[in-house]
Amino acid sequence: MSDAIHVEGLFKTFRGFRKVPIKAVDDVSFSIPEGEAFGFIGPNGAGKSTTIKIMTGVLQASAGKVNLFDTPVGQPQARIRLGYVPENPYLYDYLTPLEILLMGISLHGLKIDDPHAHCLKWLERLELGGVARRQIRSFSKGMTQRVAIAHALCLQPRLLILDEPLSGLDPVGRRDVVDILAEYKRGGGTLFFTSHVLHDVERLADRFGLIHKGRLRAVQSPAELAGGTDLVQVRSMGATPVAGAKSDFAERWSTEVTRDDLWQKLDELRVARHTIIEIRPTLSLESAFMRAIGKE
């Protein structure tokens, strides 16, 4: 199986204040085989969006190489059936969602028997069927984001590159998009995405890459990122403080414990007369990131 993405020795330098060079991407290398879902995570300004823009041909690298399916990204053929959703998609707001999708499949040269039906199917999947012929200028940010996702998926992409795909979506919209991306992955598609909302998308990723200050610090599975510790978050409500619990707001508490310590913590909450609101597995992006860069 060939690599869907191969990045080797990637550098990108910008001119900063008084022309002082700033390394946005500093010697980044990784490979993603076909059919893998790869989460690319890190704080703001870490180099995530810059890397993606180089991968999609929007920016030119200062040094290094990027291949998509063994084709250098500078060649137009590398972007055939590439679905891309930026963090803040700009769509021609005088067009309708249906026109945007039809334009996309035409530009990519897709041969589809009934293009209108194909595009409407994806708009309906993203809960946009009722506004398929309305101008986008009247849409909210979340609706515009869903149009961009529908556009990427209607291309029947062999590779999806998504920069904060859940940005601007409400909880129902996030759940629906995560389900659609999981279906795309099960169908053999390759997925590369960034997100700050790790608990919404952690089940999608086979591996995560952690980037900090332009350098790739680790490439690991979700379990490895968590440091081998299976953590559980317990949310409760009660008037009495409990050791280790952090106050969310008035009389509501959040506690993070290992699975082995869960029953003991539940006993402490019961004695304190707390009511359990929620118990769920958790993977803390912050704690995983701090482990990866070797800080407390």
Q: Which tops the pLDDT comparison, 226 or 101?
A: 101
Residues 247 and 181 in one domain: no
Residues 163 and 286 in one domain: no
Residues 49 and 186 in one domain: yes
Residue 179's domain spans which residues? 34-58+69-225
Cα 35–Cα 107–Cα 62 angle in degrees, nearest 5: 65
Q: The whole model's pTM is what?
A: 0.81
Residues 146 and 236 in one domain: no
Q: Quick one: tokens of 205?
A: 């990723």
**SS3 state of residue 156:** coil
30 closest CA partner among 58, 52, 59, 62 = 52
Q: Quick: pLDDT tens for 111-140.
A: 999 999 999 999 999 999 999 999 999 999
Q: How far apart are CA 294 and CA 114, in angstroms?
A: 54
Residues 218 and 265 in one domain: no
Write the DSSP string, 42-99.
--TTSSHHHHHHHHTTSS--SEEEEEETTEETTSGGGGTTEEEE-SS----TTS-HHH
Q: Quick: pLDDT tens for 129-168.
A: 999 999 999 999 999 999 999 999 999 999 999 999 888 8
Cα 206–Cα 210–Cα 84 angle in degrees, nearest 5: 65
Of 202, 225, 248, the domain-final residue: 225
Scanning the structure block, which residue is given the tokens 């209108």? 116
Q: Does residue 74 have a pLDDT over 80? A: yes
